[in-house]
Amino acid sequence: MKTSSTSPLGKLAAREEQLFLLLSIFIGIISGLLVVSFRMAIEWSNLLLLGARRLPHDTRLIIVPAIAGLVIAVLTRYVFPAVRGSGINQTKAAFYIHNGHISVRTVIGKFFLSALAIGSGQSLGPEDPSLQIGAGVASMIGRRVKLSRERLRLLAPIGAAAGLAAAFNAPISAILFVIEEVIGNWTAGVLGSTVLAAVASVVVARWFWGAQPMFRVPSITLRDPRELLAYWVLGIIGGVASLVFAKSLGWLRPLLRRQSTTSQLFQPAIAGLLVGSIGYFGLPQVMGAGYGAMDQAMHGQFALRMLLLLALFKIIATTLSFSSGTPGGMFAPTLFIGAMLGAGVGSFEKMFFPHLTGSIGSYALVGMGVLFAAFLRAPLTSVFMVLEVSGNYSIILPVILANTTAYLISRILQPVPIFELFTHQDGLYLPSMEEEREESQLRLEDILTPSKFPIVEGTRTVLDVRNAMQAAPEAASYPAVLIRCAHGDWYAASRAELEEIVARIGDNPTDEVAHQTIESLLSKERTPHIFPDQLLSNILHYFQRWPILPVANRAQLGTLEGVLSLEEVLHRYQGAGTDHA
């Protein structure tokens, strides 16, 4: 039902739309401030607990993560039970299950416990928690102003985009990721609100951190086309590495969750102890988010052997930290592993193919996008993420080649995306955005056939139509008739409706009704204009009113492309379902 903009309901809807846009900006500002505070809390806790520099054989590397893990486990168990995990699936569940509701307690717990976990050295990142913090802020604000349930549901992903944009300092990547992974397809209006929130949060974040990209990327140019082969190899390596990473998480996470409650209380502490041990015995770079190590890899400060060790042990450390239930994200570890593998390919090239001019930094940068595309299964986001976090657009071709290669390999080797796997392990069955993106949607043109229904000119008199019906008794078998009206409009009349009009003449052909046009006796309503490119699912509700639907040409409304009946539509859906099965 359409609502007039001048009616009370229309004015109320318009005011809510304006309020929604203003709230999007406000949510962006608050999310930006909270994410900045969150990152500062991580840095302060890291400086306080582990010192300014993390060096091997420092006993704090073992003791601090273990003690912090025990504190986190107790608080998660008894105070903040909803803060486990990265926050992405929780935000998605809030949208699809809880009508956009994320509690204040969850936001507070996510903020402090994630900051403590990452600051104490657990191998996790701040981006995913920032996404949930932004979504939680949006949820709280929406409930405070008493938005409708539909609007409240939409605020959660809008806040998620704002939180992620501030954490990445990259609004486009944040918007694309939330669309790719959290919610799927959006309307233009909601997308506009998301852009406002994401841009507002980035403006706030840049006010504190500056406008420079997240990483100091050296000058990158692609001078020799033969280098594309090396980037292709990097895509293959990244696809295989993502499989190892996903399989390790898919095996250890449910195994630990099946343990007793008492055992689960000690799991974050044990994970912290093991991750700290990796740092103690020579690889402190794997602890925490690892941004400093990524920067070093881009500038060629690690040998090939060290790069491979860092990638391998980052997979191990992150698997331990995340599987233990410690709150924190997967983004930073994924970028870390990709950067090390990419820098490794670049170092190998320098050693064995010195005549090629590629820089190690370019391979590290592309490697980050490769793991992001393959492991997190967000191929579009991965391309823009590399461009935004580096501020370098000269490497777009290698990024697309390597990311696509890694993504396709990951799809073949690991059919179920990692976040969907986590939801199934948690007993949730949220929609798979990857499947929805790639699911073929039927359009009218897919089932259109030439019209088999009689067509009557609306200018013909009722008497002419009656005589034609009597002269062609086979027309009685058609359930409906199309009437061509003025201005290219159509009217789909049921057989009963047409017979009722003709019956008005009775036995008197000189009756005034007999010389009136068919069109003049129809109701003023006309069959809606529908076109071949429209989605089939979007026109089903019209069959409640009309027995058949004429499909018109967009250039000439009076020209028929075909006619649809409900029987044909259902038959096509049944056939599509059989084909799909």
Mean pLDDT of the chain: 86
Q: Could you report the per-residue pLDDT of 78-114, keeping only the tens digit for each?
A: 999 989 888 888 888 888 888 888 999 999 999 999 9
pLDDT band at 580 (very low <50, low <70, confident <90, very high): very low
Q: Could you report the per-residue pLDDT of 316-371, keeping only the tens digit for each?
A: 999 999 999 999 999 999 999 999 999 999 999 888 887 776 788 889 999 999 99
Here the tokens at position 153 are 């549901």
Amino acid at 298: M
Q: How far apart (Å, rounded) are the C-alpha atoms in residues 408 and 578?
A: 26
Here the tokens at position 304 are 């090939």
| Residue 306 CB partners (closer than 8 Å, separation 6+) | none
Shared fold status for 8-209 and 444-580 = no
pLDDT band at 473 (very low <50, low <70, confident <90, very high): low
Q: Could you report the per-residue pLDDT of 246-286, keeping only the tens digit for each?
A: 999 999 999 999 999 899 999 999 999 999 999 999 999 99
Here the tokens at position 296 are 């070093």
- Looking at residue 2, its pLDDT comes to 46
Here the tokens at position 352 are 């064995």
Q: Which of 247, 238, 241, 246 is nearest to 403 (CA)?
A: 238
Query: For strand 560-565 and strand 455-457, is the pairing parallel, antiparallel, or unpaired?
Result: unpaired
Q: Read out DSSP for 266-325?
A: HHHHHHHHHHHHHHHTT-GGGSSS-HHHHHHHHTT-S-HHHHHHHHHHHHHHHHHHHHTT
Burial of 510 (C-beta count, 10 Å sphere; 0-12/13-18/19+): exposed
**Rounded alpha-carbon distances, angstroms, from residue 2 to 21, 335, 536:** 22, 48, 21
DSSP state of 527: P
Other residues' Cβ atoms within 10 Å of the Cβ of residue 29: 17
Structural domain boundaries in the chain: 8-209, 227-434, 444-580
Amino acid at 381: T
- Looking at residue 11, its pLDDT comes to 55
The distance of Cα 257 from the centroid of its chain, to the nearest Å, equals 27
Say if residues 246 and 414 touch (Cβ distance below 8 Å): yes
Q: How far apart (Å, rounded) are the C-alpha atoms in residues 577 and 463?
A: 46
The architecture CATH gives domain 8-209 = Orthogonal Bundle (1.10)
Q: Could you report the per-residue pLDDT of 524-544, keeping only the tens digit for each?
A: 889 998 898 888 888 888 998
* Beta bridge pairs of residue 550: 563
Say if residues 489 and 557 touch (Cβ distance below 8 Å): yes
182, pLDDT greater than 80: no
Q: Which fold would CATH assign to domain 444-580?
A: CBS-domain (3.10.580)
φ/ψ of 39, rounded to 5, equals -65, -35
Domain 227-434: CATH superfamily is Clc chloride channel (1.10.3080.10)
Q: Could you report the per-residue pLDDT of 559-574, keeping only the tens digit for each?
A: 888 888 888 888 777 7
| Residue 152 CB partners (closer than 8 Å, separation 6+) | 99, 100, 101, 139, 142, 143
Here the tokens at position 63 are 């003791």
